[in-house]
Amino acid sequence: MAKRRRTPKKKQQVEGGPVEGVYEISTGTAELIEDDYTPNGWVLEINGMESSHIVLGDPRALDFEYMRWLAAVIEPHVDAHLDPAKLRITHLGGGACSMARYLADVYPSSRNTVVELDAKLADYVREWFELPKAPLVKIRVGEARAVTATLAPASRDVIIRDVFSGYITPAPLTTLEFTEMAAKTLDVGGLYIINCGDNRDLAGARAEAAAISRVFEHTAAVADPAMLKGRRRGNIIIAGSHSPLPLEGEAVTAAISKRLLGGGVPAQYKDDAWVRDFARPASPRHDPV
Give the CATH number for residue 138. Answer: 3.40.50.150
> Is residue 175's pLDDT more than 70?
yes
Q: Which amino acid is at 223?
A: A
pLDDT > 70? residue 12: no
Specify whether the CB–CB gap between 123 and 141 falls below 8 A.
Answer: no
User: What confidence tens digit (pLDDT) does each residue in 91-105 have?
Assistant: 999 899 999 999 999
Residue 177 Ramachandran class (φ > 0 left, ψ -120 to 50 alpha, else beta): alpha
Domain assignment present for 188:
yes
Answer yes or no: is pLDDT of 65 > 90. Answer: yes
DSSP string, 221-274: EEE-HHHHTTSS-EEEEEEEESS--GGGSHHHHHHHHHHHTTSSS--EEE-HHH
- pLDDT tens per residue, range 102-152: 999 999 999 999 999 999 999 999 999 989 999 999 999 999 999 999 999
The mean pLDDT value for 269-280 works out to: 95
Q: Look at residues 136, 93, 100 and name the one whose alpha carbon lies nearest to residue 118.
A: 93
* pLDDT value of position 7: 43
**Residue 186 lies inside a defined structural domain of this protein:** yes
User: Across-strand partners of 197?
Assistant: 235
pLDDT at 157 over 70: yes
What torsion, rounded to 10 degrees, do the Cα atoms 44, 200, 174, 283 define?
A: 170
| H-only helix segments in 107-143 | 119-128
State the total domains in the chain: 1
Flag whether 118 is in a domain: yes
Percentage of residues in the chain having pLDDT higher than 70: 92
Tell me the sheet residues that pair with 236.
196
pTM: 0.93
The reported pLDDT for the residue numbered 167 is 84
56 lies in some domain: no
Q: What is the mean pLDDT of residues 56-72?
A: 95
pLDDT at 285: 97
Render pLDDT for 186-230 as a digit per residue (tens, 0 to 9): 999 999 999 999 999 999 999 999 999 999 999 999 999 998 888
**Do you know the residue count of the chain?**
289
Q: How far apart are CA 248 and CA 13, in angstroms?
A: 47
Helix, strand, coil shares of the chain, percent, nearest 5, are 35, 25, 40
| Three-class SS state of 283 | coil
Does residue 9 carry a pLDDT above 90?
no
Q: Which residues of 235-250 are buried (b: 16+ CB within 10 A; e: fewer)?
A: bbbbbbbbbebbbeee
Kindly state whether residue 24 falls inside one of the protein's structural domains.
no
pLDDT at 16: 59
Tell me if 52 is assigned to some domain. no
Mean predicted lDDT score pLDDT of the chain = 91
Confidence of residue 252 (pLDDT cuts 50, 70, 90): low
Contacts of 132 (CB under 8 A, 6+ apart): 101, 104
- Look at residue 59 and tell me whether its pLDDT is greater than 60: yes
Tell me whether residue 109 is in a domain: yes
Torsion over CA: 14, 15, 18, 22 (sign): positive
**E runs forming strands in 75-185:** 88-92, 111-116, 137-141, 156-161
| Domain limits for position 136 | 65-279
Sign of CA dihedral 218, 198, 257, 98: positive
* Of the listed ranges 65-74, 252-261, 269-278, the one predicted with least confidence: 252-261
Q: Which of 17, 18, 20 is nearest to 7 (CA)?
A: 20
Is residue 284 one of the residues assigned to a domain?
Answer: no
Give residue 254's pLDDT.
Answer: 76
End-to-end CA distance of the chain: give it in Å, rounded. Answer: 33
